[in-house]
A and B are shown apart, each in its own frame.
Chain A
Amino acid sequence: MRTGVIGLILSPTFSFLEMMWRICPALAVGCTVVVLVPPASPTPLLLAQLAGELGSFPGILNVISGPASLGPVLASQPGVQKVTFCGAIEEGRALRRTLAGKGAELGLALGAESLLMLTEAADVDSAVEGVVDAAWSDRSAGGLRLLIQESVWDETMRRLQERMARLRGGRGLDGAVDMGARGAAAHDLAQRYVREARSQGAQVFQAGAVPSDSPFFPPTLVSDLPPASPCTQAEVPWPVVVASPFRTAKEALAVANGTPRGASASVWSERLGQALELGYGLRVGTVWINAHGLRNAEVPTGGCKESGSSWSGGPDGLYEYLRPSGTPARLSYFSENLNYGTFGLAVPSTLPAGPEIGPSPATPYGLLIGGHFQAPGARSSRPIQDAQGNLHGYVAEGGAKDIRGAVEAAHQAAPGWVGQSPGARATLLWALATALERREAALTSRLERHGTELKDAKVEVELSARQLRAWGARAQAQGHVLQVAGLKGPVLRLREPLGVLAIVCPDEWPLLAFVSLLAAALAHGNTVVLVPSGACPIPALELCQDMAALLPAGLVNVVTGDRDHLTRCLALHQDVQALWYFGSAQGSQFVEWASAGNLKPVWVNRGCPWAWDQEAKGAGRELGLRAARTKALWLPMGD
């Protein structure tokens, strides 16, 4: 089902083609679009005029030409269901913070830097042409980070410098030039970067027949930049190329994945095995093998990490503008008096109300971290009341230290889990389903004590087992081949795990929601840190006993405690790759605000309860889409 009104905010150096890539899918699925463009470009206004002349549907495409400060204003308008922002990383962060709690969903496509990895088995001349395509042409999005294997360093630098001398710059409309200009702002940015690089001791080489006055900047090659300098972490502006050497392919992967951005990269190697290994290992949205900058409407283009998670093109580009049928329109739930500084900071202490009566409960449940149960760092437990108000049991009071430990354990378990074959993952999930069925009686009685009807409880347990089995069956190698017109060779659309997924489970359907979310995340190869329902965590903790026995250590980590405090810890944690929050409206707003830290994708329920027992929600497509990220792998072929 289509989303509704889309707002699109474009960066000052956007290209018309980029804009069309985003507008056309939105219009095609039935959304209407409002675009905010910088005042210097009149072409989108012309497009909107043409759209208006269509007659039967005026107003499907609207263009506002204004300064960047109008962006948050557009995004906060009631009625806008989704905002896509293309631009610089810092502005994206600021927008994310401003939009926390507002109705619109935010998609970010940030930064334009790409990466090129040149191994010694590459055709160096062709790779140099790839560098020209990537950085020194009008089609290139931004600057380039170039990694060259040491054995071919001298050869490559010589060829690069020779090739740069043949580049021509000038006015973009002249057919015989390679590079145009992108405005005074881009020119200043590039100049500042080059000046800083020089002052930190780098070698800067500039060449090419480019006019020397203001908006034109010559092609620039920066090398010998010391690894500790701030320029290595900052985004490389257009048309600068920063070259650094590496010794082995593994080192190159580590360097490449160490930057906080992850938009696109290319690998140049004639050895198929090495090229594919590097292509699969890079944590970016698009990988080209022995090519750079290829783009097509059928292939999804997007990024990960700090490059935002908004996609254009391909099936993912369409899903951006769709939402599951039956979902109501998004309304703003912004609450002004939420103090981001103090939300969840301190845990309210609960003293026992009176002397405990009744049989003494079992020992408190610990936290499941790293495959075994351990006591919480704060060495305290919280009591759980059942529906009648009697004491049901004690669960651990987890805190920031436990969260940190849990995330670390999840990271350690991640490579092993990703390396497992889909069949092995399916087997584990089915084994967990069997274990859950064996515990049916215990789980039903626990759920009943918390006020669920007997038959509802039975249904819940049964559905939970079924979910596990269903997701187990779906844990196949997620990837299929796209057939791209005009390209000889396949393009693979791979679905890769996000990494460490933090999930805060809802209070409704405590067991079913817990299991559904867990199963979906595990089936796609993620490792999870879960915070079970605050009111009824005990059925989940019962299941943890089986998980500790069956699953590899660190795969699933469960931390109980004060929900707001734990949410705060998870949302502010910079090493969690995604966060799903099903709790209160205030918590949702905080999560959205805090995700601006490392720009992790978040999924919040804004305080509205979900019907987990319905197919569309529990085992629905949305869960599957959100539990993994896409990567497009291009393999042009020919000899």
Chain B
Amino acid sequence: MPSVLAEPSLLPAFSKALDLSWISKMQVNQPAVLRRAQQIQARRTVKKEWQAAWLLKAVTFIDLTTLSGDDTSSNIQRLCYKAKYPIREDLLKTLNMHDKGLTTAAVCVYPARVCDAVRALKAAGCTIPVASVATGFPAGQTHLKTRLEEIRLAVEDGATEIDVVINRTLVLTGQWEALYDEIRQFRKACGEAHLKTILATGELGSLTNVYKASMIAMMAGSDFIKTSTGKETVNATFPVAIVMLRAIRDFFWKTGNKVGFKPAGGIRSAKDSLAWLSLVKEELGDEWLTPDLFRIGASTLLSDIERQVCNNPLSWDKLTSVFLRKKRKIPYWAMRTREKTSSDLPHCTQTSAFIQANPHLKWADWTRERECA
């Protein structure tokens, strides 16, 4: 398992002069994209010990989020603690991952709560970045002056990542230069902080608009493009993600600069998160599967992943074998028949033995091993 990201690696801010010819002829065919989305979900599933590995990897991508009206310093503190220790200690011990420093990628809060979050993380002794939403989240219908001031204040308070919301009015009326200028101003206001541009794809009307807005956002200097605020009726869906990932890839081919991707909203189950990882791997490749370039914005996802890791045969077998050894009465939910394997090591330690034997292996090699097996 690769080491988790301690700080956001601050990529130098990259932006390009506006070139409308990159988007003028673009048309996205929606039925074809829908078909591709269904295909990916059906064809790239992960099982057994690789599933456990992918789930833990997915944890490292999560931006643990709380964006409610009733956030106070106590629930922010709990959130930050959860960010530092996302999975239960005993589960991590069974997978032999307790000493790898597994944490989520960031914590995402409202601008007023940034101070609390920074304080809580410092108290926990953790270097996870704090991300703040800004610019009139979630609707973005406030004056430009106040939006820029929000960003500056959040950065002053200690947020190192800013999630901004674009002006959907400009997209729907086709004012691409105005959109570009606005995002450039956000970029300047952020200064050294990471800029994530939320496109609010549920409100953009068509996949073609999503592509064009992504391109403009990247040209203006975003470090990440994000699908949605999480507050719309339709949040992150696969067809929209495919279009945005294609835009990221096209931008990379044209300029050599890698922009990250963050789906947010609607990702609640561990199975979904695995599908998202497969999608990014298929469309962009393994280099994008790092917290530098891929995040998942979720709040309840973590508990589902924890449950899945618990139910995974790997850790399950270890727990039941503990019970059997100590000859305790086995509760009915622990009754499972287990096949005897020829090897001496029980299943669960095979992964950790593999990891210990090959600490140099990167993420890419993990999945290649599976194909050869």
What 0/1 readout, one digit per residue, does chain B (5-42) give for beta carbons within 8 Å of chain A? 00000000000000000000011111111111000000
Other-chain residue from B27, B43, B45 in contact with A123 (beta carbon distance below 8 A): B27
| Docked-complex contact A209 and B206, CB < 8 angstroms | no
| Docked-complex contact B282 and A166, CB < 8 angstroms | yes
Other-chain residue from B34, B253, B371 in contact with A638 (beta carbon distance below 8 A): B34
Which of B30, B206, B246, B282 counts the most A-chain CB atoms under 10 A from its CB? B30
User: Chain B residues near A127 (CB, 8 Å)?
Assistant: 32
| Docked-complex contact A270 and B31, CB < 8 angstroms | no
Identify the 6 closest CB pairs spanning chains A and B, nearest first. Answer: A126-B32, A123-B29, A270-B27, A636-B31, A638-B30, A126-B29
User: 12 A–B contact pairs at CB < 8 A?
Assistant: A125-B28, A126-B28, A126-B33, A126-B36, A127-B32, A129-B32, A176-B45, A209-B371, A290-B32, A291-B35, A638-B34, A639-B207
User: Chain B residues near A270 (CB, 8 Å)?
Assistant: 27, 29
Mark out the residues of chain B between 33 and 73 whose CB falls within 8 Å of any chain A CB in the assembled complex: 33-36, 43-45
User: Chain B residues near A168 (CB, 8 Å)?
Assistant: 371
| Docked-complex contact B33 and A175, CB < 8 angstroms | no
- A185 in contact (CB, < 8 A): no
What 0/1 readout, one digit per residue, does chain B (236-259) give for beta carbons within 8 Å of chain A? 000000000010000001000000
| New A-B pairs, 18, CB < 8 Å, besides A126-B33, A178-B43 | A123-B26, A123-B27, A123-B29, A123-B32, A126-B28, A129-B32, A158-B253, A166-B282, A168-B371, A175-B45, A176-B43, A268-B29, A270-B27, A290-B29, A290-B32, A489-B31, A638-B34, A639-B206
Which of B29, B34, B43, B371 counts the most A-chain CB atoms under 10 A from its CB? B29
Closest Cβ of chain B: how far from A176's Cβ, in Å? 6
- A121 in contact (CB, < 8 A): yes
Mark out the residues of chain B between 184 and 216 whose CB falls within 8 Å of any chain A CB in the assembled complex: 206-208
Residue of B nearest to A129 (CB): B36
Closest Cβ of chain B: how far from A256's Cβ, in Å? 21
- A195 in contact (CB, < 8 A): no
Expressed in whole angstroms, the Cα–Cα distance for A638 and B253 within the complex equals 29
**Residues of chain A having any CB pair with chain B under 8 Å:** 121-123, 125-127, 129-130, 133, 158, 166, 168, 175-176, 178, 209, 268, 270, 290-291, 488-489, 636-639
Given contacts A125-B246, A166-B282, whether A290 and B43 have CB atoms under 8 Å apart is no
User: Chain A residues near B31 (CB, 8 Å)?
Assistant: 290-291, 488-489, 636-638
Residue of A nearest to B208 (CB): A639
User: Chain B residues near A489 (CB, 8 Å)?
Assistant: 31
Total interface residues on B, CB under 8 Å, equals 21
What 0/1 readout, one digit per residue, does chain B (338-351) give for beta carbons within 8 Å of chain A? 00000000000000
User: Chain A residues near B33 (CB, 8 Å)?
Assistant: 126
User: Chain A residues near B28 (CB, 8 Å)?
Assistant: 123, 125-126
| Docked-complex contact A639 and B30, CB < 8 angstroms | yes
Closest Cβ of chain A: how far from B40's Cβ, in Å? 10
Which of A121, A176, A270, A637 counts the most B-chain CB atoms under 10 A from its CB? A176
User: Chain B residues near A639 (CB, 8 Å)?
Assistant: 30, 206-208
Expressed in whole angstroms, the Cα–Cα distance for A638 and B207 within the complex equals 10
Closest Cβ of chain A: how far from B257's Cβ, in Å? 18
Closest Cβ of chain B: how far from A253's Cβ, in Å? 21
User: Chain A residues near B282 (CB, 8 Å)?
Assistant: 166
User: Chain A residues near B246 (CB, 8 Å)?
Assistant: 125
| Docked-complex contact B27 and A121, CB < 8 angstroms | yes
Residue of A nearest to B30 (CB): A638
Residue of B nearest to A133 (CB): B35
Expressed in whole angstroms, the Cα–Cα distance for A281 and B198 within the complex equals 45
User: Chain B residues near A175 (CB, 8 Å)?
Assistant: 43, 45
Expressed in whole angstroms, the Cα–Cα distance for A166 and B286 within the complex equals 11
Mark out the residues of chain B between 284 and 316 whose CB falls within 8 Å of any chain A CB in the assembled complex: none
| Docked-complex contact A291 and B32, CB < 8 angstroms | yes
Expressed in whole angstroms, the Cα–Cα distance for A129 and B208 within the complex equals 17
| Docked-complex contact A176 and B44, CB < 8 angstroms | yes
Closest Cβ of chain B: how far from A269's Cβ, in Å? 9
Expressed in whole angstroms, the Cα–Cα distance for A130 and B33 within the complex equals 10
Which of A121, A129, A166 counts the most B-chain CB atoms under 10 A from its CB? A129
Residue of A nearest to B34 (CB): A638
Expressed in whole angstroms, the Cα–Cα distance for A125 and B211 within the complex equals 12
User: Chain A residues near B45 (CB, 8 Å)?
Assistant: 175-176
Expressed in whole angstroms, the Cα–Cα distance for A126 and B371 within the complex equals 27
Closest Cβ of chain A: how far from B277's Cβ, in Å? 14
Expressed in whole angstroms, the Cα–Cα distance for A268 and B29 within the complex equals 10
Closest Cβ of chain A: how far from B31's Cβ, in Å? 4
Expressed in whole angstroms, the Cα–Cα distance for A129 and B43 within the complex equals 14
Expressed in whole angstroms, the Cα–Cα distance for A126 and B282 within the complex equals 15
User: Chain B residues near A125 (CB, 8 Å)?
Assistant: 28, 246
User: Chain B residues near A290 (CB, 8 Å)?
Assistant: 29, 31-32
Expressed in whole angstroms, the Cα–Cα distance for A134 and B344 within the complex equals 48
Residue of A nearest to B371 (CB): A209
User: Chain B residues near A123 (CB, 8 Å)?
Assistant: 26-29, 32
Expressed in whole angstroms, the Cα–Cα distance for A176 and B278 within the complex equals 11
Other-chain residue from B26, B32, B253, B371 in contact with A130 (beta carbon distance below 8 A): B32
